[in-house]
Amino acid sequence: MDLIQNLIALLGESAVLRSQQDLAGHVTDWRGRYQGQAQCVVFPSTTAQVAAVVQLCHAAQVPVVAQGGNTSLCEGAIPRADLPETVVINLGRMRQVRAVDPANNSMVVDAGCVLQTVQETARSHGRLYPVSLGAEGSCQIGGNIATNAGGTGVLRYGNTRENVLGLEVVLPDGRIWEGLYGLRKNNTGFDIKHLFIGSEGTLGIITGATLKLHPLPTARAMAWLAVESPQAAIDMLARFQSRCSASLSAFEMVNDVQLNIVLNHVADRRAPLSPSYPWHVLVELTDTCDEALLSAALEETLSAAAEEGMLLDAAIATNGKQQADWWEVRHSVSEGNKKAGIGINTDPAVPLSAIPAFITQATAAAHRIVPGAPIIIVAHLGDGNVHFIPQLQFAQWQALSPAEQDQLSHSVKQAVNEVACALAGTFSAEHGIGQVLTDEMALFKHAVELDLMHAIKRAIDPQQRFNPGRLLPPTP
Ligand SMILES: Cc1cc2nc3c(=O)[nH]c(=O)nc-3n(C[C@H](O)[C@H](O)[C@H](O)COP(=O)(O)OP(=O)(O)OC[C@H]3O[C@@H](n4cnc5c(N)ncnc54)[C@H](O)[C@@H]3O)c2cc1C
């Protein structure tokens, strides 16, 4: 029997998609800009089935791409265009919550659980799973772990890495590593789970995870600030950190270009303050204390800052509906940007003190290549992570050949990333490397670090069949 027949015998006809029409959504990236090729997309329902699929692919010597919600912003989850024999393994049918242990503040889930389902399940047990991002309605926990996703809760709770206690992983040879520990302490040698977190499917397919839960906040206070400059926003962050750092759960900044795109391109979004202010900050405090205490801390911090002339304007959300609406504005940036034009997305982080210099220098560097292009800025400011996005009009982009589009996007990204790295930053803070930043890995990553990564890849996937061409640059 050939591979396809074996896969159908294992999973059933409906779990093996082959027609171009069925494959389309699984071989095209979230922005709809890039397309790969695959011989099929399969949907296993259990860890044993994932292992069996991997063994069949291993025997047939074909590449394998793990796929979650396919919301990657760096073409991580789509197969390569030059490897049509690839089998895409989509985890979407593995979506059981296996167990919740409120006393241990942990839960065990299948990797295909959608992030929002995980958040809601935790909440129904009086707990918080704190990773939150714009794609939470469709991205999966396995994809979050494979990319070490960040989002808006990192300032208080850390990246996905800080919220994973254990993993279950299918290795490239089909063996299953059963590492679903629920422990906070376990000093028994290398902590293997960290190899797989952020490995973007290059070392194994995550099939299950033990997640760390936190007390569910019962009080929330939120403000929307308008400030003069990124430096003023950083000064406000320092002010909040010194007055109420234990409750500070989000500090997100957008510029006027970004805010206006959301207002003009996403239905039912309203600006809390005039969108003509140059820089906007959403600040959120959450805690398990009395809500009046949090509101008082927020108001005191803001009125002291206003008296000292640190703010252009500020609004405090007066109810839960308003808080949710303001988060909707923040979470709509990717949707708005997708509709507004062609954004050349970057994902750098620099030390907080270097953010103003980064924005000035990156703007100059980008404008040398795309003179006058509007610059969209949306930052998880508290983490030093600035999405710096020069924007082109659709017509400008379409006038270019595909090769010219690639070249332009590549050179803008590299110019911006060079500025970030020169300021002791990174070229990928949270989205990962995927297929789009492998050149940057070769250019900016320390040679010893790259050697170690290649050695680990060779040890675990000697035939280089898991997510080929992602994350690592070709070996020199
Ligand atoms: C609107 C929007 C907002 C976003 N906001 C943020 C943000 O704030 N912060 C952030 O960090 N990211 C953000 N992203 C990027 C993206 O959502 C995250 O990277 C997310 O974690 C990807 O999850 P996914 O299930 O969609 O993974 P996919 O896109 O399907 O896959 C991503 C990578 O993980 C691998 N992978 C997927 N599942 C598995 C698995 N089970 N085992 C092994 N490897 C696997 C894939 O091969 C691929 O390399 C955003 C994306 C969108 C569209």
The pLDDT tens digits of the residues spanning 206-226 come to 999 999 999 999 999 999 999
- CA dist., res. 170 & res. 67, Å (int): 14
Q: Supply the residue whose CA is at minimum distance from atom 37 of ligand 1.
A: 143
Question: Does residue 475 surpass a pLDDT of 80?
Answer: no
- CA dist., res. 412 & res. 368, Å (int): 9
Whether 92 is in the pocket of ligand 1, judged by its Cβ within 6 Å, is no
pLDDT digits (tens, 9 = 90+) for 70-120: 999 999 999 999 999 999 999 999 999 999 999 999 999 999 999 999 999
Report CA(197)–ligand 1 centroid distance (Å).
Answer: 12
Residue 274 DSSP SS3: coil
Question: Does residue 373 surpass a pLDDT of 70?
Answer: yes
Whether 253 is in the pocket of ligand 1, judged by its Cβ within 6 Å, is no
Report CA(69)–ligand 1 centroid distance (Å).
Answer: 7
- pLDDT of 221: 97
- CA dist., res. 252 & res. 383, Å (int): 9
Q: Which atom of ligand 1 is nearest to the CA of 112?
A: 41
Report CA(141)–ligand 1 centroid distance (Å).
Answer: 9
Report CA(149)–ligand 1 centroid distance (Å).
Answer: 7
Whole-number mean pLDDT of the chain? 96
pLDDT digits (tens, 9 = 90+) for 400-438: 999 999 999 999 999 999 999 999 999 999 999 999 999
Q: Can you list the domains of the chain with their CATH numbers?
A: 3-90 (3.30.43.10), 97-215 (3.30.465.10), 219-331 (3.30.70.2190), 341-430 (3.30.70.2740)
- CA dist., res. 198 & res. 143, Å (int): 9
Residue 465 DSSP SS3: coil
355, two tokens: 């953010």
Q: Which atom of ligand 1 is nearest to the CA of 72?
A: 29
Q: What separation in angstroms does the CA of 93 have from each of 159, 268, 358? A: 25, 33, 43
Report CA(143)–ligand 1 centroid distance (Å).
Answer: 5
- CA dist., res. 474 & res. 386, Å (int): 28
Report CA(280)–ligand 1 centroid distance (Å).
Answer: 26
Whether 26 is in the pocket of ligand 1, judged by its Cβ within 6 Å, is no
Whether 341 is in the pocket of ligand 1, judged by its Cβ within 6 Å, is no
Question: Does residue 1 surpass a pLDDT of 80?
Answer: no
- CA dist., res. 336 & res. 346, Å (int): 16
Mean pLDDT of 4-10: 97
Q: Which atom of ligand 1 is nearest to the CA of 432?
A: 19
130, 163 contact by CB (below 8 A): yes
Question: Does residue 357 surpass a pLDDT of 80?
Answer: yes
Strand-pair partners of 224? 282, 315
Question: Does residue 476 surpass a pLDDT of 90?
Answer: no
- pLDDT of 366: 98
Q: Which atom of ligand 1 is nearest to the CA of 30?
A: 53
- pLDDT of 82: 94
